[in-house]
Amino acid sequence: MKKLAAAVTIGAGIAALALLRRRIGRPRVARGRAARLRLARGRAALQLAVRGGVRYAGSAPRIFAAAGEHRQQLRNDLALQTAEDVATTLGAMKGVLMKIGQMASYVDDGLSPAVRRTLSRLQDSVPPMSAELAAGVVAEELGMPPEQAFARWDPDPIAAASIGQVHRAITLDGRAVAVKVQYPGIAETIAADLQNVALLRRMLRITAPSQDVDSLIGELRDRVLEELDYRREADNQRLLAAHYDGHPTIHIPGIISELSTRRVVTSELADGARFAELAGWSQQERDLAAETIYRFTFRSLYEAHAFNGDPHPGNYLFHGGGRVTFLDFGLVKHFTPGELQPLMDMVRYLCVDDDPEGFRASMVEAGFLRPDAPLSTETVVEHMAVFYDTVRRPGALTMTGDYASAVVRRFFDVRSPLARYVSVPRSYVILQRINLGLFAVLGELTATADWRAIAEEIWPFVQGPPATPMGEAEAAWRASRPAGHERVA
Amino acid sequence: MTADSYAMAENLVARSAAAYASSVPENPADDGFFGPASVAWRLSNDLSAPVAGLRSLLIQALHPLAMAGVDQHSDWRQDPVGRLAATSGYLTTISFGERAAAERAAARVRRIHEHVSGVDTVTGRRYAAGDPALLLWVHAALVESGIVAAELFGTPLSRSDSDRYVAEMVVAAELVGVPRAMVPASLDELGAYISSVRPELRCTPAARESMDYLLDPPGLDEDVADIWQDVREAAIGALPAWAREMYGYSAPQSLTDHRRAEIRQALGVLDTVYLGEPGVLEARQRITLRMRAARRA
């Protein structure tokens, strides 16, 4: 089962669940090797979708890690120089595989440490564009070459994004900024490749049409297509930057609108410690950083009705004292109040009101559970409770990698009596990344807090008092804001 | 013997990849027989290469004597994957290896061929693997398939680059023992040569069994097997009509832009899996760096 969890390469577990369900219904025998294949299959999904995609991209850092002049030379020599180079490198499904690999890059369950290390480098590992190619994109988008559009332009990228790269620059009015430049032609290529739903299905090792799978692929396509248009990302970032304006620990870099287009997005330059550096920080600092990430995730969800579907360690910068800068809003899901309500009801009935029947009814209302599922409510609660373990009871609790893995495992537990009666509606597919992303990150920080007390602050149906010093500071900040500001969405 | 007597094709990708990765030299003393500015290097890296490989095997197998030599002597049935991987490694060495390495590899193949001779049970004709006529057929099928597959599914070569490629590849035939004068050196000569051999071609039982195996290799990893369906369809679609008719394959649907894109996507996934095998990406990068250096020079 552990291996099968790895099949969640696109950040939503229901695919694997659907796959498992199908497999139980119709066992297939493949030339006498069925048993081995079954065991290998979850792995195979990951391998096909990621093994190649990631290693392919993942070797770049090793090359760039070579020393000094030699390193710069190699970087220049391997850089993508023309739109044709981009098409060769990222066309024919390779860009899509890279996106899938990126999305899988912090899912730990079922991955060997070696694969995981490679995955964690993915964010910074795509081959860069040559200075000339990147400048050409900027010129097309902004109407003038970067040397004219900016007072200073650094032709060497400081980071690679999955479909673009980031350059430092100084604006004509003197602001230090980060400019994300998209690979030329990549949006068209990926959009075309995402049309091949049949192949996407095969890549996910799912060979039979299923409503769940189609929902999943549909959601993946929507999110990736949105990510290809940087104007969408700029909108998301503006929304959240406004929402957290002045927040004591959460910082979102502002967008420079006049220098942002479909393929170029310019934001304030942020600096800070990377996630990997936190390993050397005190546990107290790690706890504070985790608390900020936790507050950001659920305040965004419950107040801004927005969820960042890419809670990747590479998208955080740490400043000490719990202050965190959040980067990259290309993959943000916006929820309607109607979509959020059943989710909040589930939390409230299970964790606050202790009303199992209400919990079950909300699960059915949300579309998670079939109304006619022949299961006792006790069974339903027993198998769902693990997802709420961190907030069911008050008191300090330490997040661990084991907990994150247990949540993922439970989600894919084919032996669960719930397996054949549950599904995840399309709107909620991305939420599974709370389990796969947030909890994995907090687990890696081995963060301790009274998560229940913090959650109570955030839950709109509780609005509990500040539970921590950070909560106090946050309450003061909230009190200082104009009335109604918290409902920006 | 029946097709069932073939060994499983598991690890086809891994073993081909290992042969490839180890055949691209790390610090070569020279540029080999082709060099980084050649069309041959460009074509070797083309997305369409798996289609080219499968298509050329389909055409090569139609020569009864060439097929008999493989079927009766090599370890083809016991270890088809090993045989394919060895061929892949050989071609990589010839293409990218230093001259000395290419010559050593070719000498080894010529030595093996010395001991391969017999009588084809279908035609009753004697054959010898070292016969330049057979070697030339194998060569011509390979060269023509590279051009056709790139035209349909990869980055098409211009007419002059196609001519150049045929001319560049003459040395590959020479290395394995075909006198230079026999080897087509232009696209027209290549076409004329292939037409001239056609009366000798037929689909023998050995050819059919071998190709049935290759078109649907048992024991492939399931994910690769899925992709292989597209490679197979592309290779059959890329065959000349006469070859398809000899095998009795039905004529393919006309190749729409949509279907072409789908096949390219499948080839992209396969290529990504291939790149994920140890050493392959590094080998590709060694080649890319040398090609870029040559472009700058």
- For residue A31, list chain B residues with Cβ-Cβ distance below 8 A: 218-219
Interface with chain A: mutation pick from B152, B229, B265, highest number of A CBs within 10 Å: B265
**How far is the C-alpha of A268 from the C-alpha of A260, rounded, in Å?**
12
Q: What is the average per-residue pLDDT within A301-306?
A: 93
Which pair of structure tokens corresponds to residue A198? 């049949």
Output DSSP code: residue A434. Answer: I
| pLDDT score for A374 | 93
Whether B47 and A203 lie within 8 Å, measured CB to CB: no
Contact residues, A window 317-356, toward B, CB-based 8 Å cutoff: none
Looking at the complex, report in whole angstroms how far the Cα of residue A187 sits from the nearest Cα belonging to chain B.
15
| pLDDT score for A414 | 57
Residue of higher predicted confidence among B217 and A74: B217
Residue B229 amino acid letter: Q
Burial class (CB in 10 A: 0-12, 13-18, 19+), A415: exposed
Q: Does B279 touch chain A (CB under 8 A)?
A: no
Instruction: Compute, in degrees rounded to 10, the torsion defined by CA atoms B274, B277, B282, B288.
Output: 0
Among A340, A317, A326, CA closest to A239: A326
Q: Does A92 touch chain B (CB under 8 A)?
A: yes
Please tell me whether residue B185 adopts helix, strand or coil conformation: coil
- pLDDT tens digits for B168-198? 999 999 999 999 999 999 999 999 999 999 9
Please tell me whether residue A167 adopts helix, strand or coil conformation: strand
User: Which among A37, A77, A93 is the nearest to B268, CB-wise?
Assistant: A93
pLDDT at residue B222 is higher than 90 = no
- pLDDT tens digits for B126-140? 999 999 999 999 999
The verdict on ipTM greater than 0.90 is: no
**How far is the C-alpha of A191 from the C-alpha of A262, rounded, in Å?**
14
Phi, psi of A214 (to 5 degrees): -65, -40
Residue A386 amino acid letter: V
- pLDDT tens digits for A144-184? 999 999 999 999 888 777 688 899 999 999 999 999 999 99
The end-to-end CA distance of chain B, in Å, is: 55
| Least confident window among A18-32, A44-58, A128-142, A202-216 | A18-32
| pLDDT score for A112 | 41
- For residue A192, list chain B residues with Cβ-Cβ distance below 8 A: 261
Among A440, A98, A118, CA closest to A293: A440
Which chain B residue lies closest to A93 (C-alpha atoms)?
B265
**Contact, A408 vs A462, CB < 8 A?**
no
Looking at the complex, report in whole angstroms how far the Cα of residue A95 sits from the nearest Cα belonging to chain B.
10
Q: Which H or E run includes B46?
A: none
Q: Does A80 touch chain B (CB under 8 A)?
A: no
**Contact, A311 vs A430, CB < 8 A?**
no
Q: Which H or E run includes A168?
A: strand A164-170
**How far is the C-alpha of B45 from the C-alpha of B166, rounded, in Å?**
17
Beta bridge partners of A449: A397
Q: What is the pTM of this model?
A: 0.77
**Contact, B67 vs B207, CB < 8 A?**
yes
**Contact, B113 vs B133, CB < 8 A?**
no
Q: Does A453 touch chain B (CB under 8 A)?
A: no
Q: Does B264 touch chain A (CB under 8 A)?
A: yes
**How far is the C-alpha of B106 from the C-alpha of B130, rounded, in Å?**
12
Q: Does B128 touch chain A (CB under 8 A)?
A: no
Q: Does B265 touch chain A (CB under 8 A)?
A: yes
Q: Does B272 touch chain A (CB under 8 A)?
A: yes
| pLDDT score for B8 | 74
Q: Does A70 touch chain B (CB under 8 A)?
A: no
How large is the angle between the packed helices B159-168 and B132-153, nearest 10 degrees?
Answer: 150
Among A408, A437, A407, CA closest to A301: A437
Asked whether the CA dihedral B176, B181, B185, B186 is positive or negative, the reply is negative
Among A342, A339, A343, A332, CA closest to A243: A332
Q: Does B112 touch chain A (CB under 8 A)?
A: no
Q: What is the average per-residue pLDDT within A63-82?
A: 57
Asked whether the CA dihedral A150, A151, A155, A157 is positive or negative, the reply is negative
Which pair of structure tokens corresponds to residue A92? 């024919």
Interface with chain B: mutation pick from A19, A31, A55, A207, highest number of B CBs within 10 Å: A55
| pLDDT score for A126 | 59
| Least confident window among A138-142, A396-400, A412-416 | A412-416
pLDDT at residue A21 is higher than 80 = no
Whether A92 and B223 lie within 8 Å, measured CB to CB: no
Q: Are strands A264-268 and A306-308 parallel, antiparallel or unpaired?
A: unpaired
- For residue B226, list chain A residues with Cβ-Cβ distance below 8 A: 202, 207
Whether B267 and A192 lie within 8 Å, measured CB to CB: no
Burial class (CB in 10 A: 0-12, 13-18, 19+), A68: exposed
Q: Which H or E run includes A162?
A: none
Q: What is the mean pLDDT of chain A?
A: 76
Which pair of structure tokens corresponds to residue B50? 């798996």
| pLDDT score for A313 | 80
Looking at the complex, report in whole angstroms how far the Cα of residue A163 sits from the nearest Cα belonging to chain B.
17
pLDDT at residue B279 is higher than 50 = yes
| pLDDT score for A260 | 97
**How far is the C-alpha of A371 from the C-alpha of A366, rounded, in Å?**
11
**Contact, A210 vs A203, CB < 8 A?**
no
Among B269, B265, B267, CA closest to A48: B269
- pLDDT tens digits for B143-167? 999 999 999 999 999 999 999 999 9
- pLDDT tens digits for A251-285? 999 999 999 999 999 999 998 999 989 989 999 99
Whether B271 and A92 lie within 8 Å, measured CB to CB: yes
Asked whether the CA dihedral A89, A93, A95, A99 is positive or negative, the reply is negative
**Contact, A20 vs A42, CB < 8 A?**
no
Interface with chain A: mutation pick from B43, B46, B213, B222, highest number of A CBs within 10 Å: B222
Q: Does B261 touch chain A (CB under 8 A)?
A: yes
| pLDDT score for A412 | 56
Q: A22 Cβ partners below 8 Å, 6+ apart? A: A206, A208, A210
Which pair of structure tokens corresponds to residue A220? 């993946």
pLDDT at residue A364 is higher than 60 = yes
pLDDT at residue A30 is higher than 50 = no
Looking at the complex, report in whole angstroms how far the Cα of residue B154 sits from the nearest Cα belonging to chain A.
10
The end-to-end CA distance of chain A, in Å, is: 39
Q: What is the average per-residue pLDDT within B104-129?
A: 95
**Contact, B235 vs B51, CB < 8 A?**
yes
User: Which among A31, A78, A207 is the nearest to B289, CB-wise?
Assistant: A78
Which chain A residue lies closest to B271 (C-alpha atoms)?
A52
**Contact, A7 vs A42, CB < 8 A?**
yes
Q: Does A59 touch chain B (CB under 8 A)?
A: yes
CB half-sphere exposure, A266, CA atoms < 13 A: 21
- For residue B273, list chain A residues with Cβ-Cβ distance below 8 A: 47-48, 51-52
How large is the angle between the packed helices B132-153 and B222-238, nearest 10 degrees?
Answer: 100
Q: What is the mean pLDDT of chain B?
A: 92
Chains A and B form CB pairs within 8 A to the count of 89
Please tell me whether residue A92 adopts helix, strand or coil conformation: coil
**Contact, A263 vs A165, CB < 8 A?**
no
Whether B289 and A74 lie within 8 Å, measured CB to CB: yes
Phi, psi of A258 (to 5 degrees): -70, -10
Q: Does A94 touch chain B (CB under 8 A)?
A: yes
**Contact, A189 vs A90, CB < 8 A?**
yes
**How far is the C-alpha of A269 from the C-alpha of A175, rounded, in Å?**
8
- For residue A190, list chain B residues with Cβ-Cβ distance below 8 A: none
**How far is the C-alpha of A159 from the C-alpha of A123, rounded, in Å?**
8
**Contact, B139 vs B169, CB < 8 A?**
yes
